[in-house]
């Protein structure tokens, strides 16, 4: 297994998720915890059943509070550096489900400042452009406009900057360097930025003048920021935010790492706005296969679904466990070929994207229903 790296700015290598849990000091999602969640939600989302959401911090505390009628709110984000791709949608799909099942608010941060500060070539105009494009994908997933607030860090700075100041005053340069590994060449905006990422974890508490538990569904690479939040926010009198973490959807080229919208080559990424034809072309041509070199050999030995990207995508986007199990077995036995597996994947993704793109069009009229302005 190659060495792997998981930071807010780089995800690479063969990720060992059990090792990550140890390194980051998070907790594994156990069957016991799943049962406790199911008691409230009536069913388990497939992203939970399949342990794609695999790790957490303080989920039991969130449920303790929920059971005492002390509701939490959800916070997640999208740093806008490009078009939305399938990987981005995963935590949001789950977050929308959490909102619906627990009937809670979602505070959705768009840190346009982050991407501007960390990507040398992006301007604030670029990040704002992507922000409003990405917001369409967020809205399309079905968040409740009455219970969802979306905000750009730059546009909402009148409220966020003073709160970020309060947070930043409690974070030393030492801490920031230790957590994020900043070098001397790093710009001072980027060093400050983590303060802005902590703000939404207290924002509803500040605005409503009462302490409200916060649950952050997010991909595990953002954990460093929230380790800082969990250290600092109690010093300001707020709860530590809880979190629930998902694995990465890989790029087309291989079962490891993370799909990236900044990749200059489109060949690794399926965008939320790709046409059915483009999706078909990309998966047929680029999706890494777990099949054998020849059809004959494949039928004899069977394929390896565990490294097959098309199968992996189905674990993220095919709701039916039964269907998924059959595909797994058929591919493993050699009963279905790679081309057939790719066909199933294309159909599933395109069915999802067709619906998504329809809702995305409708979202264009509804943006202001979601935006938090100051």
Positions that interact with a second copy (CB under 8 A): 113, 116-117, 124, 153-158, 160-162, 164-166, 168-174, 176-177, 182-192, 194-195, 374
Which of 193, 317 has the CB closer to a second copy?
193
Which of 164, 371 has the CB closer to a second copy?
164
Which of 194, 338 has the CB closer to a second copy?
194
CB 173 within 8 A of CB 194: no
- Nearest distance, CB of residue 335 and a second copy, angstroms: 55
Which of 153, 318 has the CB closer to a second copy?
153
Sheet holding 27-28, edge to edge: 27-28, 53-57, 242-246, 214-219, 73-77, 106-110, 148-152
- Nearest distance, CB of residue 202 and a second copy, angstroms: 14
- Phi then psi for residue 188, to 5 deg, are -75, -20
- Nearest distance, CB of residue 123 and a second copy, angstroms: 9
Give the integer Cα–Cα distance in Å for 38 and 56.
Answer: 16
Which of 189, 234 has the CB closer to a second copy?
189
- Nearest distance, CB of residue 284 and a second copy, angstroms: 41
Which of 195, 310 has the CB closer to a second copy?
195
- Nearest distance, CB of residue 193 and a second copy, angstroms: 9
What are the CA-CA distances from residue 150 to residues 122, 217, 220, 327 (Å)? 22, 15, 22, 38
CB 130 within 8 A of CB 81: yes
- Nearest distance, CB of residue 81 and a second copy, angstroms: 14
Give the integer Cα–Cα distance in Å for 11 and 259.
Answer: 9
Number of Cβ within a 10 Å radius of residue 21: 18
> Residue 2: which region, alpha, beta or left (left: phi > 0; alpha: psi -120 to 50)?
beta
């Amino acid at each position: 297994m190659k060495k792997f790296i998981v930071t807010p700015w780089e995800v690479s290598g063969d990720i060992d998720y059990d090792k990550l849990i140890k390194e980051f000091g998070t907790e594994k999602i156990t069957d016991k915890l799943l049962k406790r969640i199911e008691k409230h939600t009536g069913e388990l989302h497939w992203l939970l059943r399949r342990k794609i959401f695999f790790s957490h911090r303080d989920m039991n505390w969130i449920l303790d509070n929920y059971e005492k009628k002390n509701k939490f709110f959800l916070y997640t984000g999208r740093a806008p550096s490009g078009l939305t791709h399938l990987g981005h949608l995963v935590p949001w799909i789950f977050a929308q489900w959490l909102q619906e099942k627990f009937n809670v608010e979602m505070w959705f941060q768009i840190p346009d400042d982050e991407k501007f500060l960390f990507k040398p070539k992006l301007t604030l105009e670029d990040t704002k452009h992507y922000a409003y494009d990405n917001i369409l994908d967020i809205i399309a997933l079905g968040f409740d406009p009455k219970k969802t607030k979306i905000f750009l860090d730059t546009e909402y700075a009148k409220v966020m900057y003073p709160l970020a100041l309060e947070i930043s005053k409690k974070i030393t340069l030492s801490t920031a360097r230790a957590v994020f590994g900043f070098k001397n060449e790093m710009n001072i905006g980027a060093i400050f930025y983590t303060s802005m990422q902590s703000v939404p974890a207290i924002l509803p508490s500040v605005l409503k003048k009462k302490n409200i538990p916060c649950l952050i569904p997010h991909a595990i690479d953002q954990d460093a920021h929230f380790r800082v939040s969990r250290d600092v926010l109690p010093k300001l009198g707020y709860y530590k935010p809880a979190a629930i973490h998902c694995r990465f959807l890989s790029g087309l080229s291989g079962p490891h790492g993370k799909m990236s919208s900044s990749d200059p080559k489109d060949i690794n990424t399926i965008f939320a706005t790709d046409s059915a034809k483009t999706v078909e072309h990309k998966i047929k041509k680029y999706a890494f296969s777990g099949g054998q070199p020849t059809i004959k050999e494949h039928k004899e030995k069977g394929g390896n679904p565990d490294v097959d990207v098309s199968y992996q995508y189905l674990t993220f986007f095919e709701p039916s466990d039964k269907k998924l199990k059959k595909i797994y077995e058929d591919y493993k036995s050699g009963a279905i070929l790679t081309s057939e597996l790719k066909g199933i994947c294309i159909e599933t993704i395109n069915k999802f994207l067709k619906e998504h793109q329809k809702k995305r069009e409708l979202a264009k009229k509804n943006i202001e229903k979601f935006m938090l302005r100051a």
